[in-house]
Structure 1
Amino acid sequence: MTRYVSSCFITLFVLFLWRVEDIADACKCSPPHPQKAFCDAEIVIRAKVVGKKAVSNAIKYDIQQIKMFKCPDQVIHAIFTAPSPAACGVTLDLNKEYLFTGKLETGRMYVTLCGYNPPWEDLSAAQKNSLTHRYQSGCDCKIIHCTSLPCPISTTDACLWMDWGTNNSQNLACIKSNGSCAWK
């Protein structure tokens, strides 16, 4: 009988370790460059959060849309996100304005922790200006995030992003000019 109990205990322990690893890997991502987030998003808006409600497997934030930057002819009244940061859900403050970059699914806007959804007041003047004037024109360029040296770049349609602990390149846009992309 002890051999049976021991075998069951080992099996349960292995299953437990397997599940812990799944839970630990729940939401992993590095913050995107604002232009990359803009170009990858289906919809980009500035909005004020005015309400919050838990709805089947999601959090619904009621918003007042202030400005549409991408996805014309769409009025958004709510933003949906996963119920917790562990599931890549975004936590937002009521009565605060944000820039939201997200996806549309069945007429609903979804945002995640891996997207770019900063408070509006945290954006620099250059970033706010780029939302209407530069980011869209640079969507043909690739932004390659370099996390350690060396960072080789072998194409002319890309900009190397080496923003280690500073916000300097967050104020720049990768724009194509004369057949190649460069930070401007």
Structure 2
Amino acid sequence: MANFSLFNLIFVSFIGISLGCKCIPPTQNMAYCRAQWISKANILKQVDANGTIIYNVQHLKIFKNITKDIPNEIYTANSTAACGVTSLLEKNEYLLVGIINSGKLYINSCIVMPILDGRFQSHPLWRDVPQDLRLRLVKKDFKPCPIFKR
């Protein structure tokens, strides 16, 4: 019986790991093209609400935005297995990249701006963003994004 329970535990753990969040590491250009908004933001507060984390932020510099206004609330799943970004700390500045859905800003662990191409990490602290990437963001110095037919 103990062997059966151990097997079940290992099996369930394996399924959980295999079904967790998986992302293709983006290049900086790919991240820029995928993003609907990019911001240097200060995290003011984190609120957990019904399976969602809501970050209240102050946008310090907006590098890309496809809408007229940019809200000060950012939504993400409260689980890393669901690609949620759960580790942003209050009173820290980050380079955040995300999408917009129904007027709300969303981030996840798959749409991130890597500080170096080929190096995958979560949304970086602003102090870790290299000067050359900061300059590219200000100048919007990225290759043209591909146009996909629907």
TM (norm. structure 1) is 0.62
Quick check: 1:80 aligned with 2:86? no
Return the letter of the residue paired with 1:85.
T
Q: What's the offset of the Cα at 1:28?
A: 1.6
Contact 2:29 2:143 in 1 (8 A): no
1:29 is matched by which residue type in structure 2?
C
Residues 39 and 135, structure 1, Cα contact 8 Å, conserved in 2 = no
Secondary structure class of the residue paired with 1:75:
coil
Gaps of 5+ in 1: 1-8, 142-184
Paired with 2:141 and 2:30, the residues of 1 have a C-alpha distance of 8
Question: 2:21, 2:81 within 8 Å by CA — same for their partners in 1?
Answer: yes
Counterpart residue identity of residue 28, structure 2: P
Question: What's the CA shift for 1:140?
Answer: 4.2
The aligned runs of 1:16-165 (5 Å cut-off) are 17=11, 19-25=12-18, 26-71=20-65, 72-90=67-85, 91-116=87-112, 117-140=123-146
Three-state SS of the structure 2 residue aligned to 1:138 is coil
* Aligned-residue offset at 1:36: 1.3
1:27 alignment partner, SS class: coil
Question: Which residues of structure 2 form unaligned runs of 5+?
Answer: 113-122
Larger radius of gyration: 1
Q: Structure 1 residue 49: deviation in Å? A: 0.2
| Greater relative contact order (Cα < 8 A, sep 6+) | 2
- After alignment, is 119-128 or 67-76 more displaced? 67-76
Deviations 1:89-118 (A, max 9, x none): 111011111111111112111111122121
Label 1:119 to 1:64 Cα distance change in 2 as closer, same or farther (>3 A). Answer: same
CA separation of 1:80 and 1:130: change in aligned 2, threshold 3 A: same
Check the 8 A contact 1:63/1:78 in 2, yes or no.
yes
Q: Runs (4+) of structure 1 moved beyond 4 Å?
A: none
Q: Which secondary structure does the structure 1 equivalent of 2:48 belong to?
A: strand
Count, aligned residues: 131
For normalisation by structure 2, the TM-score amounts to 0.75
Query: What is the RMSD computed on CA atoms of the aligned residues?
Result: 2.5
